[in-house]
């Protein structure tokens, strides 16, 4: 296993962050400074900033209800509240699919980099469902345009066709299989609507359910098993080098 992937699986940092630590000389493998591209195999001793690390025996996958006002970032000097500071865990957890500061709802938090990579890969067409309220009555024609795909001029791309279901004169549910930056807000703005509230209620098989704002929960074994299966992965129950 490449050293940067190993550090990510240990929950130390992202793969990019691991490369930075390696370049700084903070990573030691069997007594020598690690180099970019080094590989780690079972039995090797790996230390980061003087502390020995090892793969956890299992992975943590958590559902978290992100409130409005919390920023999806690990470092942001301008943010009042960071999502990584809101979660209580002895593991380094990262979000799989961000929500903007003004939006709320379900985030999947995990220390498994492979799971995050699979969930974030747009080609996998993983579903995410949202409840949306806009500032004025939206017609069936406009909802049909959202469902068919909207050309976003500032991104020079057309959104994928998606599922849209009306819930009131000014609200609807939408199911996306991609995650462009502020996608729903951009789609609505292109049709002359302003999003007033935006809440994510589902990511793949995991739903928000009765989770309260700001609360979190560990996924049930069945939820976790289905999530990994849908991502084409196996749940890690022991330290395995691949």
pLDDT given for residue 208 in this prediction = 95
Stretch among 40-49, 58-67, 79-88, 138-147 having the lowest mean pLDDT = 79-88
Location of structure tokens 């703005």: 189
Distance CA 222, CA 5 (A): 27
The span from the CA of 116 to the CA of 121, in Å, is 9
Which tokens hold the place of 83? 């999502």
In order of their start, the domains of the chain are 3-53 (3.10.290.10), 61-122+205-230 (3.30.70.580), 127-203 (3.30.70.1560)
142 has pLDDT over 60:
yes
Is residue 104 within 8 Å of residue 69, measured between CB atoms? Answer: no
Q: How does pLDDT run across 78-120, given as a tens digit for each residue?
A: 888 888 888 877 777 888 888 999 999 999 999 888 888 889 8
111 belongs to the catalytic site: no
Do residues 63 and 37 lie in contact, with contact meaning Cβ atoms separated by under 8 Å? no
Query: Which of 100, 103, 125, 143 is closest to 204 using CA atoms?
Result: 125
* pLDDT tops 90 at residue 205: yes
pLDDT at 61 over 80: yes
Strand-pair category, 51-53 with 32-33: unpaired
User: Which residues 6+ apart lie within 8 Å of 123 measured at CB?
Assistant: none
Top-confidence residue, 56 or 119: 119
Threshold 0.85, pTM exceeds: no
Query: How would you label 3-42 residue by residue, b for 16+ Cβ within 10 Å and e otherwise?
Result: bbbbbbbbbbbbbeebbebbeeebbbbeeeebeeebebee
* Three-class SS state of 48: strand
**Which of these is catalytic: 100, 102, 140, 169?**
100
Residue 55, SS3 per DSSP: coil
- Is pLDDT above 60 for 233? yes
């Amino acid at each position: 296993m490449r050293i940067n992937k190993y550090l990510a699986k240990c929950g130390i940092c992202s793969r990019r962050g691991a490369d930075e630590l390696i370049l700084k000389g903070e990573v030691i493998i069997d007594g020598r400074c690690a180099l970019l591209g080094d590989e780690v195999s079972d039995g090797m001793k790996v230390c980061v900033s003087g502390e020995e690390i090892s793969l956890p025996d299992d992975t943590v996958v958590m559902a978290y209800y992100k409130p409005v006002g919390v920023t999806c970032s690990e470092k942001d000097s301008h943010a009042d509240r960071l999502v990584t500071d809101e979660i209580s865990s002895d593991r380094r957890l990262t979000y799989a699919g961000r929500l903007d500061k003004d939006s709320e709802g379900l985030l999947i938090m995990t220390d498994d980099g492979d799971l995050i990579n699979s969930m974030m890969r747009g080609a996998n067409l993983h579903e995410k469902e949202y409840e949306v309220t806009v500032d004025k009555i939206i017609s069936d024609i406009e909802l049909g345009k959202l469902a068919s795909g909207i050309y976003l001029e500032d991104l020079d791309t057309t959104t994928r066709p998606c599922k849209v279901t009306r819930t009131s004169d000014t609200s609807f549910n939408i199911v996306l299989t991609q995650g462009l930056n502020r996608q729903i807000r951009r789609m609505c703005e292109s049709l002359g609507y302003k999003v007033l509230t935006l809440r994510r209620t589902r990511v793949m098989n995991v739903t928000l359910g009765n989770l309260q704002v700001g609360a979190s929960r560990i996924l049930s074994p069945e939820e976790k098993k289905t999530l990994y299966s849908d991502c084409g992965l196996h749940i890690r129950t022991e330290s395995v080098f691949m």
